[in-house]
């Protein structure tokens, strides 16, 4: 039995036997019987039942729309080959970049570009006295902005997908900065591919990138990056 029909049935039973039900009540409750019925008839659930009674009857005669399966995406031959190569290494670490130093000069130049001159980034003397890290640290967005160079994505001699006509940074699913990158340390990226999905004229790749800090167990950044290849 549908919920709507059940509620309707119970309301009809109560309406036909309201006086009998009243006799079952204690004397103190009988004085409030009329008020109780009025509140019941005007309650949200009663209104919901009245509304869905009409909806249910309309649904019985209304034709249901036909659900069509999306047409399969036909990929160019180059894209099919790349997709097969990627699927063979899903979840595996496919790239470890070169070490890159994040010195105070790089941090200061990033602060100038973004106008973020917080002392924890740009004041080594104050940081040595007041910061729990005893030194300045890189902006989290500075670490994030280095992903392209750390993964060799901007090096034309180290293209991961040379048959693609265009590679587009489509965005990030999530980003975390588990540990600060202190001024003067070296970092590098470790990349693994999580998924590859066909799109119109290309592929969408989701990859996890971890920014390793030299001599530190915790990474400076963990990002889920989305890249699109067009062929």
Q: What is the pLDDT of residue 116?
A: 97
Instruction: Place 65 in a pLDDT band, splitting at 50, 70 and 90.
Output: confident
What's the sign of the alpha-carbon dihedral 165, 86, 224, 190?
Answer: negative
pLDDT above 50 (res 54): no
Instruction: Place 40 in a pLDDT band, splitting at 50, 70 and 90.
Output: low
Tokens coding 17: 């036997």
pLDDT above 90 (res 158): no
Burial class (CB in 10 A: 0-12, 13-18, 19+), 94: middle
Q: What is the pLDDT of residue 69?
A: 74
- H helix intervals, the chain: 3-16, 18-24, 27-30, 33-41, 44-61, 77-87, 104-114, 119-122, 124-130, 140-145, 147-150
- Separation of alpha carbons 46 and 144, rounded Å: 55
**What is the value of pTM for the model shown?**
0.67
Angle, vertex CA 96, rays to CA 94 and CA 97, nearest 5: 135
DSSP, collapsed to helix, strand or coil, labels residue 117 as: coil
Among residues 118, 203, 137, which one has the least CA distance to residue 164? 203
pLDDT above 60 (res 5): yes
Tokens coding 220: 């400076």
- Separation of alpha carbons 20 and 124, rounded Å: 85
pLDDT above 70 (res 174): yes
Q: DSSP secondary structure string, 17-34?
A: THHHHHHHS-HHHHTTHH
94-148 pLDDT, tens digit per residue, is 999 999 999 999 999 999 999 999 999 999 999 999 999 999 999 999 999 999 9
- Separation of alpha carbons 229 and 203, rounded Å: 5
Kindly report the length of the chain. 231
pLDDT above 80 (res 178): yes
- 174 forms bridges with which residues in the sheet? 224
CATH number listed for the domain at residues 77-230? 3.10.129.10
Q: What's the whole-number average pLDDT of the chain?
A: 84
Q: What is the pLDDT of residue 112?
A: 98
């Amino acid at each position: 039995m549908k919920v709507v029909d059940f509620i309707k049935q119970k309301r009809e039973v109560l309406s036909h036997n309201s006086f009998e039900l009243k006799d079952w009540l204690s004397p103190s409750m009988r004085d409030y019987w009329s008020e109780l019925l009025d509140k019941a008839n005007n309650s949200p659930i009663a209104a919901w039942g009245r509304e869905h009674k009409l909806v249910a009857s309309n649904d019985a005669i209304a034709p249901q729309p036909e659900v069509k399966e999306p047409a399969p995406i036909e990929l160019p031959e180059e894209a099919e080959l790349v997709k097969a190569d990627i699927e063979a290494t899903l979840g595996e670490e496919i790239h470890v970049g070169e070490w890159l130093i994040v010195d105070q000069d790089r941090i200061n130049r990033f602060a100038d570009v973004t106008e973020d001159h917080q002392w924890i980034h740009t004041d080594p003397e104050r940081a040595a006295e007041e910061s729990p890290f005893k030194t300045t640290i890189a902006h989290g967005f500075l670490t994030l902005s280095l992903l392209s160079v750390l993964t060799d994505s901007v090096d034309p001699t180290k293209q991961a997908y040379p048959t693609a006509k265009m590679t587009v940074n489509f965005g990030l699913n999530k980003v975390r900065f588990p540990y600060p990158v202190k001024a003067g340390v070296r970092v590098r990226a470790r990349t693994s591919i999580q998924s590859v999905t066909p799109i119109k004229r290309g592929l969408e790749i989701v990859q996890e990138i971890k920014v390793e800090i030299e001599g530190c167990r915790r990474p400076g950044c963990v990002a889920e990056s989305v890249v699109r290849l067009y062929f």
